[in-house]
Amino acid sequence: MKIMKYLSLTAVLIFLVSCNKNGAAQKPIKTELDSVSYAIGMDVAKNVKASFDDFDNDLFIQGFNNVIDSTDILLDQAVAQQVVRTYFQNKQKEEAVKRQEEALKNKEEGEKFLSENKTKDGVVTTESGLQYMVLKEGTGEKPTTASKVKVHYHGTLIDGTVFDSSVDRGEPTEFGVTQVIKGWTEGLQLMPVGSKYKFFIPSDLAYGGNPRPGGAIKPNSTLIFDVELLEIVK
């Protein structure tokens, strides 16, 4: 079972860490195998820290040593596997519930923000629910769904957290008008070249419940962008 093999590797790591904490000198890396061994230890430690909020190192080492010595084993192998399996299944369920609660909270907060924002001077709300404000009106052509554009942008969450910014990178970006989220596709077609608009994009016109994993954008996040349309590339 992969989980048990993984945990066995972890036991070795924890055992070695325990020895070092008890005063043993750290072993130097001399050979390629030494490097591989150390690298595996680093990888396992990273996974342990990501998988467990709390961990009993002593019991872990005790279980490892009991199996190595074939003495005083407290759990049957099949029972041990089921214990681990159940633990991770329950943890996945708990994390799923937390994600759902977070998504609902983000949606409610976003809807409240947009409801208050639409009453502010200069904010226009389209039929789809996109909100925008003209910061600077250009005089050039407006892009279409067939256009490729060059823009500068600065994206934040409603709490001000910056998640992406070509402005901060100091380099504008190019893309097709239909190659971005729905809020951008609609908003760009409102802008003459040379314009700078602020978009307030509801989650259903952004990434909805499926943003990029691990990023600052969470499920059902409302997004804010300052967008400057520099040119229509083609």
Provide DSSP, 95-158: HHHHHHHHHHHHHHHHHHHHHHHTTSTTEEE-TTS-EEEEEE---SPPP-TT-EEEEEEEEEET
Helix-then-strand count for the chain, H and E: 6, 7
Dihedral of CA atoms 109, 208, 136, 194 in degrees, nearest 10, equals 170
| Residue 110 DSSP one-character state | H
Active site residue 225: yes
Q: Residue for token digits 């190595």? A: 68
Res. 199: pLDDT tops 80:
yes
What pLDDT digit, counting tens, does each position of 25-53 carry?
678 888 999 899 888 878 877 877 777 77
* Catalytically annotated residue among 61, 158, 181, 232: 181
pTM: 0.69
Q: Is 132 a catalytic residue?
A: no
Model confidence at 232, pLDDT cuts 50, 70, 90, reads very high
Residue 178 sits at φ, ψ, to 5 deg, of -95, 5
Residue 6 annotated among the catalytic residues of the structure: no
Q: Mark whether 217 is an active-site residue.
A: no
Catalytic site residue from 6, 15, 163, 175? 163
**Which member of 60, 153, 197, 200 is catalytic?**
153
Looking at the predicted structure, is the pLDDT value of residue 64 above 90?
no
- Known catalytic residue: 164? yes
Mean pLDDT value across the chain = 87
Please report how many Cα atoms fall inside a 13 Å half-sphere around the Cα of residue 187, on the Cβ side: 31
Active-site choice (164, 175, 204, 226) = 164
Residue 196, token pair as written in the block: 């700078």
Q: Residue 18 has what pLDDT?
A: 52
The active-site residue, picked from 60, 207, 217, 224, is: 207
Known catalytic residue: 153? yes
| 134 pLDDT tier (thresholds 50, 70, 90) | very high
* Tally of CA atoms within 13 A in the half-sphere of 74 that contains its CB: 8
Q: What average pLDDT does the segment 129-144 reach?
A: 97
Domains recognised in the chain with CATH numbers: 2-74 (no CATH), 115-232 (3.10.50.40)
Of 132, 199, 200, 225, catalytic: 225
User: Which has more confidence, 11 or 176?
Assistant: 176
